[in-house]
Amino acid sequence: STTSLAAIPSNATAAPRPTALVFDSGVGGLSVFQEVRQLLPDLHYIYAFDNVAFPYGEKSEEFIVERVLEIVSAVQQRHPLAIVIIACNTASTVSLPALRERFAFPVVGVVPAIKPAAKLTANGIVGLLATRGTVQ
């Protein structure tokens, strides 16, 4: 007798892994993606970047918020998300409140990393590479 089990992938009945979206206006967030993936290897990841509107640094806050909401919504419609990581400094500074208001899943950004760095520095100096939009 033959068995059909060989034709069924071993993960066919496994629950789908939660999906994390890592978003940046460009590819600079790939380093964030790599770190998060090492810390949380069991998630399914989507890395999305906005090559149409890149760079965000000179765009208005309203444009950035609307654009990020549009992109996250489009991904969420196709892939139910468990978490969103905004790996873009500029988008983090302006869009996190709107994202957190619209979506029930956790949304984290990268800008809060500046505060711990400022506390940890021995000489009071922290280097920051950022767009004008992030600094303002």
pLDDT band with cut points at 50, 70 and 90 for residue 1: very low
Are 28 and 56 spatial neighbours (Cβ–Cβ below 8 Å)? no
What was the pLDDT predicted at 3?
A: 41
Rounded to 10 degrees, what is the CA torsion of 58, 63, 109, 45?
-110
Between 116 and 64, name the one with better pLDDT.
64
What was the pLDDT predicted at 6?
A: 45
Instruction: Report the pLDDT averaged over residues 107-133.
Output: 77
Alpha-carbon separation of residue 77 from 17, 24, 112, 115, 136 (angstroms):
17, 19, 28, 34, 33
Between 122 and 106, name the one with better pLDDT.
106
Q: Is the pLDDT of residue 99 over 60?
A: yes
Q: Which domains does the chain have, with CATH numbers?
A: 16-135 (3.40.50.1860)
Give the C-alpha separation, 19 to 36, whole Å.
12
Weakest mean pLDDT among 49-53, 83-87, 102-106, 108-112: 108-112
Angle, alpha carbons 39-80-51 (nearest 5°): 75
Longest dimension (CA), the chain: 75
Tens of pLDDT along 25-84? 999 889 999 999 999 999 999 999 999 999 888 899 999 999 999 999 999 999 999 999
Between 134 and 75, name the one with better pLDDT.
75
Strands 44-49 and 81-86 come out as unpaired
